[in-house]
Amino acid sequence: MAAKNKFMNAMKMPAIADMFSSEADRQRESGDLVTEVPLSELHPFVNHPFEVRDDEDMQKLVDSIKENGVLTNLTVRPRAEGGYEIISGHRRFHAAQLAGLDKIKVQVRDVDDDQAIIDMVDANIQREHISPMEKARALKMKNDAIKRSIGRPSQKCCQVDNISGKGTSNQVGWKLESAHEVGQQAGDSGTQVRRYVRLNSLVPDLQKKVDSGTLKFNPAVELSYLTPDEQQSFLDYAEAQDCTPSLSQAQKLKAASKEGTLTPDKLEEIMSAQKPSVAPREPVLNINVSKVAQYFPTGCTKQQMENRILKILESYFRQMAHEQAHEEER
């Protein structure tokens, strides 16, 4: 009887819905639906932090697409208002437009907003040319998305104590590790991720200075703790005096801001203070011993060679001075 039941189960017909579902339906359910869509139906990711530049690399990509087509499918998700939002492939999308394509293959994924942000950042954060502020905005978006995801309790990860009504230590631990998790994907420590996220607190003109390299990363992180008005006052002073802060000066500005004493006079006092002078290093002349060894006896040390060379030079210049004086007497 058991053998008969086993045989009947093996011969069981698939459900009616399964029999008539399309390959596209099955792909959509698995998250692997690949289809071709018009470029007009594709839209950039909302608040996409990475700039798409029309530079030499873009032209190379356009030329490659004209010759070989788009080799890697874009990743997109459906939009409630119609069309698709690009998760990864903004550069390929732009290059396809420049190459004159009408349609492009995409992989359609059905993911929520936070997962879409995480996927978008992961797909772009390792790009070769990313400005500091692009990285700062991207890491903040992903960090915030992970925090929101953690903040939505589930039976799997965030049990609630029925007596106290408080979240378990598991939930708290995940919140503390969000920056660390972001850093693992970006190749940075959790501390470094938090420092990048701080850059988003800079006023726009200071962010531009970070990207241009006129304001270094470490001083910029310290300045991010100043209020927007204090940052603007610093910016006005720095531009008027054509100066940039050292790390020490930026730290003093941050401390004064925290104490509530960062007045215009205090700012000028900190910024006008002379930076510690560093004595210039004495130039060093290095001559490979093998180049001069032939002019010295075997076994002559490096110091003996140096002394002999100095004596020869002294003798040479004394002779030159004597000959010059003799010429002037004529």
pLDDT tens digits for 79-112? Answer: 999 999 999 999 999 999 999 999 999 999 999 9
Contacts of 166 (CB under 8 A, 6+ apart): 160
What is the pTM for the complete model shown?
0.66
pLDDT digits (tens, 9 = 90+) for 215-224: 999 999 999 9
The predicted pLDDT at position 307 comes to 80
The predicted pLDDT at position 322 comes to 75
More confident residue, 64 or 19: 64
- Cα 136–chain centre separation: 6
Tell whether 32 and 101 lie within a shared domain.
yes
Note every long-range contact of 2-11, with CB atoms under 8 Å and residues 24 or more positions apart, other chains counting. none
Which residues on neighbouring strands pair with residue 167, listed in sequence order? Answer: 160
Tell whether 89 and 163 lie within a shared domain.
no
Rounded Cα–Cα distance for residues 103 and 74 (Å): 12
**22, pLDDT greater than 90:** no
119 inside domain: no
Rounded Cα–Cα distance for residues 188 and 178 (Å): 13
Structural domain total, the chain: 3
92 inside domain: yes
Burial of 163 (0-12, 13-18, 19+ CB in 10 A): exposed
**200, pLDDT greater than 50:** yes
Owning domain of residue 225: 203-272
What are φ and ψ of residue 42, in 5° steps?
-100, 140
Tokens read off for 279: 């004595």
Q: Using the 8-state DSSP alphabet, how is residue 160 labeled? A: B
**26, pLDDT greater than 70:** no
Residue with tokens 């960090």: 143
Tell whether 207 and 194 lie within a shared domain.
no
Residue with tokens 């932090």: 49
Residue with tokens 């490096």: 302
312 inside domain: no
The predicted pLDDT at position 277 comes to 46
- Give the containing element (helix H, strand E) for 112: none
